[in-house]
Amino acid sequence: MTNLLSDVSHRRYNPLLGEWVLVSPHRGKRPWQGQEESPDTEVKPSYDEKCYLCPGNTRIGGHENPKYDSPYVFANDFPALQQGGFDAHASDEDSLLRYNSVSGEARVICFSPDHSKSLPLLTPSEIGSVIDTWREQEKELSQKYAWVQIFENKGSAMGCSNPHPHGQIWAQDQLPTEASKIDENLAAYLKKKNSNLLLDYVNLELEQKERLIDVNDHWVTLVPFWACWPYEIMLLPRAHVTSFQDLSVEQKDALASILKQTLTRYDNLFKCSFPYSMGWRSNPFDRDAKEYWQLHAVFFPPLLRSATVKKFMVGYEMLAEAQRDITPEQAALRLRECSDKHYLSSL
């Protein structure tokens, strides 16, 4: 099948979202005269006195950061979600102008006090501390909210407004659109197959070995069969794990290890600090969904051909459906061929 699909236009189905992706592998040969990005190859200082997120510095809202020495979490100074919502009835379900109230919180997590170290440059132990923080935040916020979205926008190419390595946590009292689609499709798969979709999927990928990047005893990173972005990856547990609360010590340590390994390959691909948007999907916390849900992360990096040429989701993608130029199998091979020793380690 891989040979058949390697050089002809075709569509692939995403069973999580119930959507199709157009794959056009022959387009990789086209010339490029469009916009080029400035690659992030700068070696940053460990501390930047002008950075709003460095230890001891004052943020734009006037709050002073403590001189933290481990992951630091604070309430976002400009939150997209507010607690309490508004005291008003939602619009009529038959109305063309529908709205409802939403209540939530938004937080920022600085991964490390070191301004220069993104996740792949941290030690496995330091990444383990980040995972512990994700778990603690999820546990706290899940007591109040239906959905806890842990994510990171890395690099200016993905809209990151501050270069200090950090992520965010948004929690809300309703399932957002993508989570609702996934919840519906996972539940439908369980009803039809009497099994967990993502557990079945990871076992299929382990059997075929075409789209794998890294594998250890507890986790797998791979380019999903239905990937949209050129070097999109999924990070999946090999056992049934529905949220960070389910992780054993061994699973957490293995997660730290594979995160460092695969994200190092990202940076090594084009010898730059590889930009991406990533996010974790845990089970919803307002329903009994543990049987069919599976904890997983997705990484959406924009770079296509080099550190300066990125994929634009425009035109056809905005009007019709997602489209990609290289096949997921080709992307996985290129990432597997990258070293898991960071290129900056030799400088």
CA-nearest of 197, 273, 281 to 234 is 281
How does pLDDT run across 217-236, given as a tens digit for each residue?
A: 999 999 999 999 999 999 99
User: What's 162's domain CATH number?
Assistant: 3.30.428.10
Assign 268 a pLDDT band (cuts: 50, 70, 90): very high
How does pLDDT run across 131-151, given as a tens digit for each residue?
A: 999 999 999 999 999 999 999
CA-nearest of 47, 41, 17 to 322 is 17
Domain extent for 274: 50-81+102-341
Percent of all residues in the chain with a pLDDT value above 70, rounded to a whole number: 93
How does pLDDT run across 61-70, given as a tens digit for each residue?
A: 899 999 999 9
Percent of all residues in the chain with a pLDDT value above 90, rounded to a whole number: 79
| pLDDT score recorded for residue 284 | 97
Distances (CA, A) of 162 to 36, 95, 108, 156, 167: 21, 40, 12, 8, 11
Q: Can you give the C-alpha Rg of the chain in angstroms?
A: 20
Residue 20 lies in a domain: no
Total number of domains in the chain: 1
| pLDDT score recorded for residue 193 | 97
| pLDDT score recorded for residue 110 | 98
Residue 139 lies in a domain: yes
Residue 1 lies in a domain: no
- Region of residue 160 (phi > 0: left; psi between -120 and 50: alpha; otherwise: beta): beta
How does pLDDT run across 291-341, given as a tens digit for each residue?
A: 999 999 999 999 998 888 888 888 999 999 999 989 999 999 999 999 999
Report the pLDDT averaged over residues 249-277: 97
**Could you give the CA distance from residue 64 to residue 113 in angstroms, rounded to a whole number?**
14
Q: Tell me whether residue 63 is one of the annotated catalytic residues.
A: no
Residue 63: how many CB atoms within 10 A of its CB? 11
- Long-range contact pairs involving 42-49 (C-beta distance under 8 Å, separation at least 24): 43/116, 43/344, 43/347, 44/115, 44/116, 44/163, 45/115, 45/116, 46/114, 46/115, 46/116, 46/117, 47/114, 47/115, 48/115, 48/163, 48/164
66 half-sphere exposure, CB direction, 13 A CA radius: 7
Residue 180 lies in a domain: yes
For residue 59, pLDDT over 90 is answered with yes
Residue 253 lies in a domain: yes
Q: For the chain, what's the residue count?
A: 347
Q: Tell me how far apart the 2 most distant CA atoms of the chain are, in Å.
A: 62
**Could you give the CA distance from residue 255 to residue 295 in angstroms, rounded to a whole number?**
12
- Region of residue 18 (phi > 0: left; psi between -120 and 50: alpha; otherwise: beta): left
Report the pLDDT averaged over residues 162-187: 97
Residue 208 lies in a domain: yes
Residue 302 lies in a domain: yes
For residue 32, pLDDT over 50 is answered with no
Please tell me which residue in 26, 89, 115, 166 is annotated as part of the active site.
166
Assign 88 a pLDDT band (cuts: 50, 70, 90): low
Contact yes or no for 107/169 (Cβ under 8 A): yes
Distance of CA 122 to the CA centre of its chain: 18
Residue 8 lies in a domain: no
Phi, psi of 149 (to 5 degrees): -105, 110
